[in-house]
Amino acid sequence: MRVVTIVGARPQFIKAAAVSRALEAVPEITEVMIHTGQHYDSAMSDVFFQELGLRLPAYNLGVGSGAHGMQTGRMLEQIEKVLQKEEPDYVLVYGDTNSTLAGALAAAKLHIPVAHVEAGLRSFDRQMPEELNRVVTDHLSAILFAPTNAAIENLRKEGIPELAIFQVGDVMYDALRYFRTKAQERSRILSTLDFEAGRYIVATIHRAENTDDTSRLETIVQALALLSAEISVVLPLHPRTRKILACGNLIEELPTSMRVIEPLGYLDMLMLEANARMITTDSGGVQKEAFFNGVPCVTLRDSTEWIELLDSGWNVLAPPTDVGSLMTAFRQALESTPGSDANLYGNGDAGHRIAEILLRKINQVQEPEMHTAVTCPE
């Protein structure tokens, strides 16, 4: 029984690490991994395979960067060829990137059932490329692994059949639980940065709605620069954001009190997050990791698909429209009392549950009826 897993971007390596470990424990399942090559810098890709114990992908399509249509189209073309060769029983896709969409579409067109991990999330903002990718992927999927109750509700409202939906919890929680101790043992990031626990802020920015809007990006950078006069701020910079800041000569303008560093490996990132006084981000994954670590978070976006974090009191939305409102949100978060520590994302066994459900599904599959193929000239 073959499962082809399709990954391509940083958070997908982390999510796949949790599920691949669980799949490996099931002797009936053989997993074959395709890396689309959407992320390719060593700090955006290799480091995760090294740290997370992921086997190297059987295929690296080397698609690289480009406009959405071009990037997705190149993936689609190459994934189709691999799927025709591998003939898997299921294709497993993660999250909401262009790699997710291309993998789901290529499989669905070949009538290979798609299983979507992190199904049902919605920001209800169709300006976000991620929202388009999620909606289409969910509607192409035969199995939808939803991480939260809100995700299940969204799928129901969109008419996805109940039998296709499984609430399994969040695979990123599995990853964090599994790697937390390793991070404590191995990471030297606090001493490298000369930081003390609880005396710094971690910031990440990479979403298109912030990087590709000069006014929003400048507002974020100015607010972080102001904040860094009061408390250390570290910004592990995504290459997308670095390129745009460099292009506008904004990197040189950042105060030295703001520590702009290369993207971190997962273990260093976990360690940095766990000991931060506050986190501010536009990342999906980092919002949840703030909650898992009990660190207040200010989310630099107009909406979030992880809405339960807002109710929990650990996360607030701060659309980056002006420096004053961001500073107010930062100060409030710094002075906030701890929010609830409700168990919002399962028990850390989402990967195991996914493996079990896949195995059950594969065992249920009847032999397909044989059709006589008719060959016509082109």
Residues that bind ligand UDP (CB under 6 A): 10-11, 14, 204, 206, 236, 263-264, 266, 269, 283-286, 289
Q: How far is the CB of 97 from ligand UD1 (least distance, A)?
A: 3
Find the helix or strand (DSSP H, E) in which 232 lies: strand 232-236
- 49 forms part of the interface with ligand UD1 (CB under 6 A): no
Among positions 20, 78, 98, 148, the unique one binding ligand UD1 when judged by CB under 6 A? 98
Instruction: Give yes or no for residue 70 binding ligand UD1 (CB under 6 A).
Output: no
Token couple for 331: 């100060």
Site string for ligand UD1, 185-204 (x = CB under 6 A): --------------------
40 binds ligand UD1 (CB under 6 A): yes
**Paired strand residues for 267:** none
CA distance 205 to 236: 9
Relative to beta strand 232-236, strand 297-299 is: unpaired
Q: DSSP secondary structure string, 280-306?
A: EES-HHHHHHHHHTT--EEE-SS--S-
CB closer to ligand UD1, 10 vs 116? 10
240 contact, one of ligand UD1, ligand UDP, none, CB 5-8 Å limit per kind? ligand UD1
Q: Interface mask (CB under 6 A) for ligand UD1, residues 215-254, using x and -?
A: ------------------------xx--x-----------
Choose the one of ligand UDP, ligand UD1, none that binds residue 266, judging by a C-beta under 5 to 8 angstroms depending on kind: ligand UDP
Q: Is there a catalytic annotation at residue 206? A: yes
> Which ranges in the chain belong to alpha helices (H)?
10-24, 46-51, 68-86, 98-109, 129-140, 149-157, 171-186, 189-193, 208-211, 214-227, 239-247, 266-274, 284-292, 308-312, 323-335, 350-364
- Nearest approach in angstroms of CB 196 to ligand UD1 is 28
Would you count residue 41 as binding ligand UD1 (CB under 6 A)? yes
- Give CA–CA dist 161/275, Å, rounded: 42
What gap in Å lies between CA 42 and CA 62, rounded to an integer? Answer: 13
Helix (H/G/I), strand (E/B), else coil: 378 = coil
Q: Confirm if 99 and 9 have CB atoms less than 8 A apart.
A: yes
When binding is defined by CB under 6 A, the residue of 50, 65, 127, 332 that contacts ligand UD1 is 65
* Residue 129 lies near ligand UD1 (rule: CB under 6 A): yes
Pair 100, 44: CB distance under 8 Å: no
Stretch that binds ligand UD1, among 91-99, 170-178, 222-230, 319-327 (CB under 6 A): 91-99
Beta bridge partners of residue 298, listed in sequence order:
280, 316
User: Is there binding between residue 38 and ligand UD1 (CB under 6 A)?
Assistant: yes
116: contact with ligand UD1 by CB under 6 A: no
- Shortest approach of ligand UD1 to residue 207 CB, angstroms? 6
Q: Give whichever of 29 and 267 is closer to ligand UD1, judged by the CB atom.
A: 267
Cβ(228)–Cβ(257) below 8 Å: yes
- 15 makes contact with ligand UD1 (CB under 6 A): no
Q: Give one word for 315, left, alpha or beta, with left for phi > 0 and alpha for psi -120 to 50.
A: beta
Kindly name the residue from 35, 39, 206, 238 that is annotated as catalytic: 206
Instruction: Give, to the nearest 10 degrees, the angle between helix 68-86 and helix 98-109.
Output: 40
Q: Which is nearer to ligand UDP, 266 or 330 (CB)?
A: 266
Do residues 102 and 75 touch, judged by C-beta distance below 8 A? yes
Choice between 130 and 289, CB closer to ligand UD1: 130
Which residue, 119 or 227, is less far from ligand UD1 as judged by CB? 119
Q: Provide the annotated active-site residues.
A: 206
Interacting residues with ligand UD1 (CB under 6 A): 9-11, 38-41, 44, 65, 96-98, 129-130, 206, 239-240, 243
